[in-house]
Structure 1
Amino acid sequence: MRAQGHAIGRRRALAATLAVGLAAGTAAACGGGDDDGPEGGGVLKGQTVTVAAIWTGSNEGAKFKKVLDEFGERTGATVTYTPTGDNVAAYLGSKVDGKAPPDVAFLPQQGVLVEFAKKGWIRPLAADTQATVKQNFFKVWQELGSHDGRPYGVYFKAGSKSTVWYRKQAFTDAGITAPPATWADFLKTAGTLSDSGATPLSIGAADGWVLTDWFENVYLSVAGPDKYDRLSRHEIKYTDPTVKEALRRLAELWGRRNYLAGGANGALQTEFPASVPAVFGASPKAAMLPGADFVASEITSATKSKIGQDADFFPFPAVGAEPPVVGAGDVAVAMKDTRGAHELLKFLASADAARVWAEQGGFVSPNKSLDLAAYPDDVQRRIAKSVIDAGDDFRFDMSDLAPAAFGGTKGAGEWKILQDFLADPSDVDGTADKLEKAAAAAFK
């Protein structure tokens, strides 16, 4: 069972370090809301629904608690919540072994859903929940929540990895009036920043998942969604011309040593959390930071910069015909065949449930029925809109879909090969050969 790099990095970057227990109280159902939510009238009064997920602390954990509170108020259920820790799969596996799995669990990797479905640890969605999912989610999210054609999960929380965060003052000082939209513009912007005396990029390359995110964005834009899917399943080789083209494009930027804070060696010694204050801290070392939407939370918690005022983002630029939208998500599944589990999943598939967290901030929903006005500020609305606008062209983080030996192991596989490529981006063909050899061994 894998602990994916992006998930671990995300949890470390967000400062939620204390696992806390949360409990949603018992109350009479209040009714109202969307027609696609759970039945009202206290249908679960006297019943307890157990939930397990990774979210903790006063940020994510407290916000998720309000979602569970709303469910409890509508149904009369008592909801108990237990944080899993970073290794969700191992935690849930131990609960299955102890014959005490939660009613509902949230999985941060699609591969874990497939693994659990194969083992018979999760239950297919009820018919009414399937109908709600079909109404509110694009096909790509329905497929990500399925295995062998059977729907198991509801993607409640999404994340976009196709954002580039920048310090607004650095752009102003360099005379840059508009963020870049294409790769050519991105290179030009980097050059303009460099000429103005600012180092363009901060890269936390000590965490290999940071570099897989770079590759996935460039590859999706260069090759398109269909080839992205085929490469994610290793149906085409990493020696394919599209892979080499993506590596060449990365080399155009990574090969400019003065474009990287600390040069290549400095980047390779910088873990992701340290790359954020390198752009937005009191003594900035760079102007831009490609990273996921959760960077916003790290900016506000680790620096004095304010989102929208000091810091902003632009979509990852289009390298090919279309800009990429790559991301991840947390999927809710039923580990018990109880009414409480199925009612909660139906609620989580509704726009009402998404709205509860969206209004608090720090959240992106893949639910297309959620009104974007629910988000508390323009920056979060723009991020959420990019995920929804991508529709069925949204693609899940490729390294999360690969075997851990290739896509999720520190010092090995794709992580190590891309780190070596950042150190010396001159050998595109050799790097493609190394990627293919490692992928072929992992996908056996």
Structure 2
Amino acid sequence: MRTSSTIRTRRTSKKTARVAAALAAGALTLSLTACGGDDGNGSGDNGSQGGGDKETSATVTLPELDGESLSVAAVWTGTEQKNFKKVLAEFEKLTGAKVTFVPAQDPIINFLGSKIAGGAPPDVAMLPQPGAIKQAVDKGWAKPLGAEATKELGENYSQGWQDIGKVGGKQYGVYYKAANKSLIWYNAQVFENAGATEPKTWDELLTTARTVYDSGVTPFSVGGADGWTLTDWFENVYLSQAGPEKYDQLAQHEIKWTDPSVKKALTTLAEIWGKKDYVAGGATGALQTEFPASVTQTFTGGDQPKAGMVYEGDFAQVNIGETKAKIGTDAKVFPFPAVGGTAPVVSGGDAAVILKDSKAAQALATWLASPDAAAIQAKLGGFLSPNRNLDTSAYPNEVQKKIAEALIAAGDDFRFDMSDQAPQAFGGTPGKGEWKTLQDFLKNPKDVAGAASKLEADAAAAYGG
């Protein structure tokens, strides 16, 4: 998720580019730090087992698929992959089909292209961006959802989440997994020792950071080795500061990256990125730190971790679960503070897209659109579903439950991750475009004009002028 990185292609519909801005003003104002639950780290076997007892109950109607086999490709690794395999295992029990998980590499569109060229595409792929779905359709790879999958999707998803899986008016994607990418997780013991409080505005965040710093702990952990984390930082600042209209315009490259609003957002980011000793390991250390490590190093080392806070989405719970920290007690979270008038919420997601049209592939898409499938992974932690008929009691702790309730409460009023809407060359390729320029800016946050100019040059080339 990923909430991470892969191919990005320009969207043509602004409606489908919205992400839950209402979350910030509404349900996310609920306390996200309620004591609760376990650490959200699921356990169990490492894969689906095939066949098995088909007596398992489900509310969704699935066909008998004895003897059928299919494969599902996704970039998910570690606990995320293990937990998804449990969802696939339940599908096997219900239908008799055999499902193979195919580990994919980023960018997944390139991975799929090589598989298709070799004559061995997976039946279904989990695509992390709306642009990836569009590119798969444009290349003739993706197949529309059938009647049963479309019906299940319509019953369980708001129109907005259906729309972002559409291309040319046809439904291609089931957004099985969502992400709230506007959260800052913190080490509760560090805050307690420092006397720090949860901020609601950017200025308050700077004050909190100073309080943590004065207590002897570096304020922020940044996973700068993964450029997508830096684009997420920028998007949150920009959405709150510049507003949703300009966010949409910049996402479609209808305004330039040299626009004053972009420079203002970069200048704001520099208030943290450019502050001496505010980032664990400095810029050099951050650029060598991948996202998982940026999370775990915030919650290991007792009350003297490498950093007191780490920014990223709800999916960070998977990595927190790899430490001894308990979510809701040791590891707490607050919404990304308001930089402008309204706190931002940026969302992302992973959609199931059919590449080989078959009864089994359509059945799997139908299953993934159901609350039954979502409930399996929800209870394991580190997962957020846009399925509005999923009972939120399935989530393993109060923190995750409130984040999920906030997502559903937003309905269709949302903004999707900006870099996920951009062409791959600009918004989704390691060492290039926005990822590379923001990594360079992390190293030299004084060069606001240079960063904006480079962003615009790369965007113009990627968008075609």
Q: Shared fold (TM-score greater than 0.5)? A: yes
Q: Judging changes above 3 Å, is the alpha-carbon distance between structure 1 residues 310 and 338 closer, same or farther for their aligned structure 2 residues? A: same
| Paired amino acid for 2:229 | V
Q: Which runs of 5+ in 1 are unaligned?
A: 9-14
Q: Pick closer, same or farther for the CA change 1:98–1:180 going to 2, 3 Å.
A: same
| Contact map agreement 1:257 1:264 (CA 8 A) in 2 | no
Which residue number corresponds to residue 32 of structure 2?
Answer: none
**Cα distance, 1:242–1:140 mapped onto 2, change above 3 Å:** farther
Partner of 1:11: none
Q: In the superposition, relative to structure 1, how do residues 27 and 314 fare at CA in structure 2: closer, same or farther (>3 Å)?
A: same
Query: Following the alignment from structure 2 to structure 1, what is the Cα–Cα distance between the partners of residues 446 and 82?
Result: 47
Kindly indicate whether the alpha-carbon contact (under 8 Å) linking 2:253 and 2:459 is maintained by their aligned counterparts in 1: yes
Residues in 1 aligned to 2:329 and 2:3: alpha-carbon distance in whole angstroms: 31
* Larger helix percent: 1
Percent identity at matched positions?
51
- Gap runs ≥5 in structure 2: 7-40
The equivalent residue for 2:397 is: 377
Equivalent residue pairs, number: 425
Q: Tell me, what secondary structure is at the counterpart of 2:348?
A: strand
Deviation of 1:55 (Å)? 6.4
1:298 equivalent in alignment to 2:319: yes
Relative contact order, CA 8 A, sep 6+: which one is greater?
Answer: 2
- Aligned partner of 1:249 in structure 2 is 268
One-letter code aligned to 1:189: T
Distance 1:318 1:393, change over 3 A: farther
CA gap 1:420/1:119 in 2 versus in 1, 3 angstroms = closer
Give the structure 1 partner of residue 121 of structure 2.
101
Deviation (angstroms), 1:4: 9.3
Instruction: Select which of 383, 393, 401 maps to 2:421.
Output: 401
How far is the alpha carbon of 1:47 from its aligned partner? 4.7
- Alignment pair present for 1:38 and 2:61: yes
Partner of 1:238 in structure 2?
Answer: 257
Q: Which residue of 1 aligns with 2:30?
A: none
Match of residue 6 from structure 1 = 4
The equivalences for 1:158-177 within 5 A come to 158-176=178-196
Mapped pair 1:183 → 2:202: yes
Aligned equivalent of 2:243: 224
CA contact (8 A) 1:67 1:356 kept: yes
User: Cα offset for 1:350?
Assistant: 1.5
Q: Which residue of 2 aligns with 1:288?
A: 309
Q: Distance in 2 between matches of 1:196 and 1:139?
A: 48
CA contact (8 A) 2:182 2:336 kept: yes
Q: CA deviation at 1:210?
A: 2.1
Within 2, Cα distance between the matches of 1:115 and 1:56?
A: 20
- Quick one: which amino acid aligns to residue 61 of structure 2? P
TM-score normalized by the length of structure 1: 0.86
Residues in 1 aligned to 2:171 and 2:88: alpha-carbon distance in whole angstroms: 23
Please tell me whether residue 213 in structure 1 is matched to residue 239 in structure 2.
no
**Structure 1 residue 263 displacement after superposition:** 3.2
1:91–1:425 Cα change, 3 Å: closer
SS at match of 2:411: helix
* Aligned: 1:80 with 2:78: no
2-structure distance, mates of 1:224, 1:309: 34
SS, match of residue 331 in structure 1: strand
CA contact (8 A) 1:44 1:340 kept: no
Shift of 1:404: 2.6
* Residues 113-140 of structure 1: per-residue CA shift (max 9 Å, x gap): 1111112212111234323323322333
Q: Residue 221 and residue 134 in structure 1: after superposition, are their counterparts in 2 closer, same or farther (change >3 A)? A: farther
Partner Cα distance (1:63, 1:273) in 2: 17
Q: CA deviation at 1:398?
A: 2.0
* C-alpha spacing 1:208/1:63, structure 2 compared with 1 (3 Å): closer
| Structure 1 counterpart of 2:313, one-letter code | A
Q: What is the distance in 2 between the residues matched to 1:24 and 1:55?
A: 21
1:22 counterpart letter in structure 2 = S
Q: Distance in 2 between matches of 1:380 and 1:326?
A: 16
Contact conserved, 1:357 with 1:363, CA < 8 A, in 2? Answer: yes
Match 1:114 to one of 134, 144, 147: 134
**Match 2:215 to one of 196, 207, 215:** 196
Q: Does residue 123 of structure 1 match 2:124?
A: no
**2:437 aligned to which of 413, 417, 420:** 417
- Match in the other structure for 2:334: 314
User: 1:333-372 counterparts in 2 under 5 A?
Assistant: 333-372=353-392
- The answer to which of 179-188 and 51-60 deviates more is 51-60
Indicate the SS of the match to 1:434.
helix
Query: Cα gap change, 1:32/1:209 in structure 2, threshold over 3 Å: closer, same or farther?
Result: closer
Aligned residue in 2 for 1:133 = 153
Q: CA deviation at 1:98?
A: 4.1
Q: What does the per-residue CA deviation read over 1:279-326, in whole Å, with 9 as the maximum and x for residues that have no partner? A: 22225122111122232222232x332322221111111212322222
Name the TM-score, length of structure 2 as normaliser: 0.83
Question: Is the 1:244–1:432 Cα contact (8 Å) retained in structure 2?
Answer: yes
Q: What CA distance in whole angstroms lies between the structure 1 residues aligned with 2:289 and 2:380?
A: 31
> Residue 123 and residue 255 in structure 1: after superposition, are their counterparts in 2 closer, same or farther (change >3 A)?
same
The match for 1:274 is 293
Work out whether residues 176 and 349 of structure 2, in 8 Å CA contact, stay in contact via their aligned partners in 1: yes
Secondary structure (helix, strand or coil) at the match of 1:297 reads helix
Pick closer, same or farther for the CA change 1:23–1:401 going to 2, 3 Å.
Answer: farther
Deviations 1:33-59 (A, max 9, x none): 2xxx224xxx32435141313267773
Hey, what does 2:13 align to over in structure 1?
A: none
Measured after TM superposition, the shift of residue 384 of structure 1 is 2.1
SS of the residue corresponding to residue 184 of structure 2 reads: strand
Q: Aligned letter for 1:24?
A: G
SS at 2:267's partner residue?
helix
How far has the Cα of 1:354 moved from its partner?
Answer: 0.9
Shift of 1:407: 1.8
How far 1:234 moved relative to its partner? Answer: 1.2
Q: 2:87 aligns with which of 58, 63, 67?
A: 67
- In the other structure, the counterpart of 1:12 is none
- Structure 1 pair 96/204, CA: closer, same or farther in 2 (3 Å)? closer
Distance 1:317 1:212 in 2: 17
Q: Which residue of 2 aligns with 1:25?
A: 51
